Amino acid sequence: MDVIFMGTPDFAVATLDSLERAGHNIVLVVTQPDKPKGRGKKMTMSPVKEWALVREIPVYQPTKIREAGSVDHILSVPCDVSVVAAFGQILPKEILEHPKYGCVNVHASLLPKYRGAAPIQWSILNGDQVTGITIMQMGIGLDDGDILKQEIVPIHEEDTGGSLFDRLALVGGELLVKTLDALEQGSVTPVPQDESQATKVGMIRKDMGKLDFTRSAEELSRYVRGLNPWPGTYTFTEGKTLKFWKAYAIAEEELDEEMKAASIASIVKADDEGIGVRCKEGVIVVTELQLEGKKRMDVSDYLRGHAMKKGELLGR
């Protein structure tokens, strides 16, 4: 098929790789404009743009895809199907109806659950056991089009937002190729979403990474995993930021009396196995962390240079 591809982050690159391996002809790549990044605010292109330029595929970067000029540009490019994967803008009706097979979206959840931004992170934050990929025929609403194909993906106990992102990206690309084959063969039956089961999630914000020990240890351990690598989770010690990179929860019933009696946000253990912090319910034990201005390290290495005692309060 001749494909117009719309996407921006690494997640979308895995889909492009699958399309290329399957022999589809990508006639145009549409991605977000270059943005300033880092301390030097250097203009940086999206991973999708980098992928396309290496292959000398035309790239279009509209600031607003719904503007007349942007619509006209895309409509001027003939194609069989448009594929959208984490593009970041809502498409107008004219673009949705342009290709023979319409616009197909690769969405990283089992729709109708988790419509909107950041479904991968939210599946971990909410403690889900499974997630998946939905290939959807796009409509004018937000992730509410008919389902073409779905694949369930288990969430492992050790999964982070980053590791789950990588696994889902690969599944998404492979499932998309199967879906396009089925569309060409006329063997796919679109299934409307059950609106009564629909849920929406918003974008991940940087301030979500601040650990609130008045919440349960189990919930905080999910945040440590789900917000890794970005924005990361953190607290404070002696006025410096202390990031938590790996952690697990000890349930309330597993705590000894001393731990149960400890004040919220106080350290209840500090040894080579981890630094435990009392939460409203249970204890969160961090095993890999990073002090402001230092590198990421195991807790055993950290404690050799930074003494931490029971009763010491974090968060200040």
Give residue-wise pLDDT tens across range 271-304. 999 999 999 999 999 999 999 999 999 999 999 9
The fold for domain 206-305 equals Methionyl-tRNA Fmet Formyltransferase; Chain A, domain 2 (3.10.25)
pLDDT of 40 higher than 90? no
Give 61's contacts (C-beta < 8 A, 6+ positions apart). 30, 31, 32, 33, 34, 49
**What spatial distance separates the first Cα and last Cα of the chain, rounded to whole Å?**
58
Domain locations in the chain as residue ranges = 2-201, 206-305
Which pLDDT value is given to residue 111?
98
Which pLDDT value is given to residue 172?
98
Which pLDDT value is given to residue 210?
98
DSSP string, 238-257: TTEEEEEEEEEEE-GGG--H
Looking at residues 169-198, what average pLDDT do you find?
A: 97
Tell me the β-bridge partners of 137.
104
- Architecture field, domain 2-201: 3-Layer(aba) Sandwich (3.40)
Nearest-angstrom CA–CA distance, 208 and 233: 8
Nearest-angstrom CA–CA distance, 191 and 108: 17
Torsion sign over Cα 59, 17, 226, 294 = negative
Looking at residues 16-28, what average pLDDT do you find?
A: 98
